[in-house]
Amino acid sequence: MAVADLHTKINLQYSSRLSYVSNRLSYSRRFSLRPLPQPHNSRICCSVTSKEVQAPVTVNTEDPKKKPDCYGVFCLTYDLMAEEETKSWKKMINIAVSGAAGMISNHLLFKLASGEVFGPEQPIALKLLGSERSFQALEGVAMELEDSLFPLLREVSIGIDAYEVFQDADWALLIGAKPRGPGMERADLLDINGQIFAEQGKALNAVASRNVKVMVVGNPCNTNALICLKNAPDIPAKNFHALTRLDENRAKCQLALKAGVFYDQVSNVTIWGNHSTTQVPDFLNAKINGIPVKEVIKDTKWLEEEFTEKVQKRGGVLIKKWGRSSAASTAVSIVDAIRSLVTPTPHGDWFSSAVYTAGNPYGIAEDIVFSMPCRSKGDGDYELVKDVIFDDYLRSRIKKTEAELLAEKRCVAHLTGEGIAVCDLPGDTMLPGEM
């Protein structure tokens, strides 16, 4: 929808969100002069009462694009507890997604809305953050969400201001970032994207839930996550993740292929370090059918060289084939990463996530975001796995990816509040997609 159309919608809105009241799951009201769209499906129940219609109306004179606006059918009011099928539902959660008009989100949002991530009893509100440039596309995304009639999707709002969109977010999936352009130095990329994540960290700190879980996907994701958490001092640093689950999935696939087993037989795979070409896919602790990988795949040269490099550079090979970055598999891995936090980790297994290193038991430098093995009870939190082993090969590889992250950190000191940036990045510092 064009900006002019948006203005003609004249959103004379009274909007109130009362916290969980008695038996109501969530309650939100919005009023508009334009006719309200009709529900498309009986599963969605509109319960705008005459009492509500008499509520005070305020004129919103702000640019509607600055405010996250409920979209279409999602502007209707629902009494979730009025329907038999919703009586067992949990309290609605707010999921903010940046880069919401992009390819990764286009896969992810529909998975979130379907219930496959948070489960069939978890209603959700999607708060979509785009940019001025992508606003029309964002509306297109919202339209497709409308047309999908997801029962669990109770609210969708779109906006371009992180301070508005991140309001009360329980989850923030930070996908939007600038790709490295031609001739752009890595330091420039760190700076440009770092500024986005510094701003989003501040916004989360100001308006998100105090226990918001943050998943940074936009590259360079580890350092972006570090910048984000440094700018959000009121949110536990432990709540910030950078996505390395895609790398874990890639590693599992390659090990399965080599061993001639289906990939569900591969477990205990850790990705250590940075989501970059220095990442370390750990074959020392990994298992196939419960047996250490090195006992199943005896070709150590293959493990150390071909396997490791394949995982490190998979993103780049994919870009060559597709002409763009991985999107569907990234979205799937975001789903996996979230599910690993909201469901208990299978006994004896673990998952990889790049998290804050403070107090880590492996001797990895403190105060960076580093992919490590985690376990969760399914409460959104995690603990680092202690029973892992190291050998000289693994230690030396971990040192290299650690050095890279420490250099990235020095390069963004101006964005983390740690003084003047000094950019002495190692020459081989590259994203998986850069070859």
- Residue nearer to ligand LMR on the CB measure, 134 or 325: 325
Q: How far apart are CA 387 and CA 400, in angstroms?
A: 22
Count of residues for the chain?
435
Cis peptide before 281 (omega within 30 of 0): no
Binding residue for ligand LMR, selected from 68, 159, 176, 433, defined by CB under 6 A: 433
Q: Which stretch binds ligand LMR (CB under 6 A): 354-362, 369-377, 382-390, 426-434?
A: 426-434
Q: Which residue is nearest to ligand LMR (CB)?
A: 433
Residue nearer to ligand LMR on the CB measure, 94 or 277: 277
**Burial 32-59, CB ≥16 within 10 A → b, else e:** beeeeeeeeeeebeeebeeeeeeeeeee
CB 196 within 8 A of CB 167: no
Kindly tell me which of 108 and 203 has the beta carbon lying closer to ligand LMR.
108
CA 320 to chain centre: 25
* Joined tokens for residue 423: 């950019």
Marked catalytic residue, from 7, 40, 107, 275:
275
Residue 378 and residue 343 in contact, taking contact as beta carbons nearer than 8 Å = yes
Least distance from ligand LMR to the Cβ atom of residue 319, Å: 7
Q: Specify the residue, 405 or 431, whose C-beta has the smaller distance to ligand LMR.
A: 431
Which of 118, 70, 106 is CA-nearest to residue 339? Answer: 118
Residue 274 found at the interface with ligand LMR (CB under 6 A):
no
| 315 sits near ligand LMR (criterion: CB under 6 A) | yes
Among 189, 251, 405, 431, binds ligand LMR (CB under 6 A): 431
Backbone dihedral region of 69: left (phi > 0), alpha (psi from -120 to 50 degrees) or beta? beta
Per DSSP, 305 falls in state I
Nearer to ligand LMR, 152 or 334 (CB): 334
208 or 243: whose CB is closer to ligand LMR? Answer: 243
Q: How far is CA 18 from the centre of its chain?
A: 27
Question: Which residues are within 8 A (CB) of 136 and not within 5 positions of it... i.e. 6 or more apart?
Answer: 1, 2
State the DSSP string of 145-174.
Answer: HHHTT-TTEEEEEEES-HHHHTTT-SEEEE
CB of 325 to ligand LMR, least distance (A): 4
Which of residues 325, 357, 376, 429 is near ligand LMR by CB under 6 A?
325
Shortest distance, position 179 Cβ to ligand LMR, whole Å: 7
Find the shortest distance in angstroms from Cβ 314 to ligand LMR.
7
Q: Pick from 28, 193, 326, 429: which binds ligand LMR (CB under 6 A)?
A: 326
Tell whether residue 246 is a contact of ligand LMR (CB under 6 A): yes
To ligand LMR, the closest distance from the beta carbon of 221 in angstroms equals 8
Beta carbon nearer to ligand LMR, 131 or 329:
329
Give the bridge partners for 352, in sequence order: 373
Q: Which is nearer to ligand LMR, 157 or 244 (CB)?
A: 244
User: How far apart (Å, rounded) are the C-alpha atoms in residues 51 and 58?
Assistant: 17
CA pair distance 277, 340, nearest whole angstrom: 24
Question: Residue 169 CB, nearest distance to ligand LMR (Å)?
Answer: 23
Q: Tell me how far, at minimum, the Cβ of 397 lies from ligand LMR, in Å.
A: 18
Q: Is 107 a catalytic residue?
A: no
Q: Are 212 and 205 in contact (CB under 8 A)?
A: no
The reply on whether position 376 binds ligand LMR by CB under 6 A is: no
Q: How far apart are CA 276 and CA 221, in angstroms?
A: 9
> What backbone torsions phi and psi does residue 220 show, to the nearest 5 degrees?
-75, 110
Please count the residues of this chain forming the interface with ligand LMR, following the rule CB under 6 A.
Answer: 10
Q: Which of these segments, 5-13, 108-116, 257-265, 427-435, binds ligand LMR (CB under 6 A)?
A: 427-435
Contact with ligand LMR (CB under 6 A) among 94, 193, 219, 357 = 219
Q: Taking each helix axis as running N to C, give the angle between helix 392-411 and helix 221-230, from 0 to 180 degrees, rounded to the nearest 10.
A: 50
Sheet holding 93-98, edge to edge: 69-70, 153-159, 124-129, 93-98, 171-174, 213-216, 240-242, 351-356, 369-375, 383-384
CB of 111 to ligand LMR, least distance (A): 18
The residues annotated with a catalytic role in the active site are 275
Tell me which residues touch ligand LMR (CB under 6 A): 219, 246, 315, 318, 325-326, 431-434
